[in-house]
Amino acid sequence: MSEQRSPKPLLSVRNLNGWYGESHVLHGVDFDVNEGEVVTLLGRNGAGKTSTLLAIMGILGKRSGTVTYRGTEIINMQPRQIARLGIAICPEERGIFASLNVDENLMLPPRIADGGLSLERIFDLFPNLKERRRSQGTKLSGGEQQMLAIARILRTGAHLLLLDEPTEGLAPVIVQQIGRTIAALKKEGFTIVLVEQNFRFAASVADRHYVVDQGKVVDMIPNSDLDANIDKLHAYLGV
Amino acid sequence: MFELLGIPPQALLGQLLLGLINGSFYAVLSLGLAVIFGLLNIINFAHGALYMMGAFVAWMLLNYAGIGYWPALILAPLIVGVFGIVLERLMLSRLYHLDHLYGLLLTFGLALIIQGLFRNYYGISGLPYRIPDALSGGYNLGFMFLPKYRGWVVVASLVVCFGTWFMIEKTRLGAYLRAATENPVLVGAFGVNVPLMIMLTYGFGVALAGFAGVLAAPIYSVNPNMGADLIIVVFAVVVIGGMGSIMGAILTGYFLGLIEGLTRVFYPEGSAVVIFVIMAIVLLFKPEGLFGRAA
């Protein structure tokens, strides 16, 4: 876990500690994400993957350490300020608003910079959403809700996407579709941090994998070395 | 039974009109409460006092500054709204992470203080506020006499209520509001300034109360207790409609005003309690309210 690439990473996390109330859940997380990469945080349930994303986004109640995005220190910023720098989150519970229809959900996050995807391109990636624009957000299937949760952060101009278990609880065919979408987004130039428990899915989309255990990053495996490290990874994930 | 049916139409329609006017106030006030509760999670017990303030500000503008009814209809809600924003920033904003009860207690205390201050300076006998010239007099509809001002109150409240409904349910700003009501943390993580939105929403909700106060000034005498008398009924309206439902608050307001009017015709002794009886029945059979979502 010593890898440092040049030039400077887009996102750099150092000695990140985080707490839920009194409960200390992150114990010094370190990792880097380079421009244009897809990086996963792999780990067991409760390892601290989601908490890491929430801490980067400024949502976790109490946090310390260093998180820099494009060289700017963001550890003490409010979530809305962090969002305005170009980081967007797709939360684990998807966060689709029940009182908003699909269109309203899609248009909700404000544009924070140029360069977001156009609606046409978004509907190109997620044709189902186009047919259901007037439906209430939570009336969509689980897969469609996941697509909506990803789609709405693509038009804002955010550049770093934090995706929290986008495949959780979805049918294999939908998982494949989300995999293709992530590959397409990488081609479009987005940088993605993906939290996953499904490492087969992670292997199909990511450049590098950070293994999180007990609130720390304990290993980094480039995707190209995954086969050679598969036993080690099984041990980490307890599978 | 024959005697009940023998009620002259003038009496029936007159009471229905009175009911509709009361309903207009119930609707505007419960709408403000619903907007505030939805986003702030605060049961704004100061709402009645802020309604009273609206009437007093209109009276003061006229008597101290010579500013008449029409400008006051805009200025008084603005002044009350700004006063609300100060309350929100200084006090209410400290309570959002706590149970509803704390907000209710704080706003109840604020209501008592505001009313006490006005009582201290203006007494309780009530101050007159003239109906503006353009709205004095009335129309003879043949079957009844409709005072112009009362017709105006109903129209103005309908416009404000449905304008507010439209803004919340059909515009992008309203979508932010609805989304922040459901999940303020996520809306903030999208880059929206939620604390600012909360502050302005409270300001808007209490401005609605101030607006109702100006509308009420020429009908009821301007009196420090005018809000305290009304707010209990308005809370019953909100409970019946369902906390946090915008359309529910509006429709229930008008509907209960009419029910109250009808009760005054057919069973006058019951008119003061009919809304509370309906509230009890609704709480028994549909505790989330007629338009509320089950928790």
Q: Choose from B39, B190, B198, B247 for mutation: most chain A CBs within 10 A.
A: B190
What are A147-199's pLDDT values in tens digits?
A: 999 999 999 999 999 999 999 999 999 999 999 999 999 999 999 999 998 88
Distance between first and last Cα of chain A? 22
Q: Which two tokens stand for residue A176?
A: 């494949």
pLDDT at residue A17, as a whole number:
98
- At A136, give phi and psi (nearest 5°): -65, 140
pLDDT at residue B100, as a whole number:
86
Residue A234 burial (10 A CB sphere; 0-12, 13-18, 19+): exposed
Average pLDDT over residues A37-48: 94
pLDDT at residue A1, as a whole number:
45
**How many contacts, defined by CB atoms under 8 Å, are there between A and B?**
57
Give A163's contacts (C-beta < 8 A, 6+ positions apart).
A90, A150, A182, A192, A193, A194, A195
What are A130-148's pLDDT values in tens digits?
A: 999 999 999 999 999 999 9
**Peptide bond before A7: cis, by omega within 30 degrees of 0?**
yes
User: A163: which strand partners?
Assistant: A90, A194
pLDDT at residue A198, as a whole number:
85
Residue B124 burial (10 A CB sphere; 0-12, 13-18, 19+): exposed
Average pLDDT over residues A209-213: 96
pLDDT band at A2 (very low <50, low <70, confident <90, very high): very low
| Contact criterion met (CB < 8 Å) for B191 and A83 | yes
Interface check A102 vs B, CB under 8 A:
no
CA distance A154 to A160: 10
Q: Is the complex ipTM more than 0.95?
A: no
pLDDT at residue B229, as a whole number:
83
CB A61 within 8 A of CB A20: yes
Average pLDDT over residues A104-128: 93
Residue among B179, B181, B194 minimizing CB distance to A108: B179
Residue among B178, B181, B183 minimizing CB distance to A95: B183
What is the pTM for the complete model shown?
Answer: 0.89
pLDDT at residue B174, as a whole number:
94
Query: Mean pLDDT over all residues of chain A?
Result: 93
Low-confidence ranges of chain B (pLDDT < 50): 1-3
Interface check A57 vs B, CB under 8 A:
yes
Residue A3 has pLDDT above 60, yes or no: no
pLDDT at residue A6, as a whole number:
54
Interface check A80 vs B, CB under 8 A:
yes
Residue A4 has pLDDT above 60, yes or no: no
Smallest CA–CA distance from A156 into chain B, residue: B190
Q: Which residues of B83-116 are buried (b: 16+ CB within 10 A; e: fewer)?
A: bbbebbeeebeebeeeeeeebbebbeebbeebbe
What are B49-95's pLDDT values in tens digits?
A: 999 999 999 999 999 999 999 999 999 999 999 999 999 999 999 99
pLDDT at residue B3, as a whole number:
46
Task: Tell me how close the Cα of A191 comes to any Cα of chain B, in angstroms.
Answer: 17
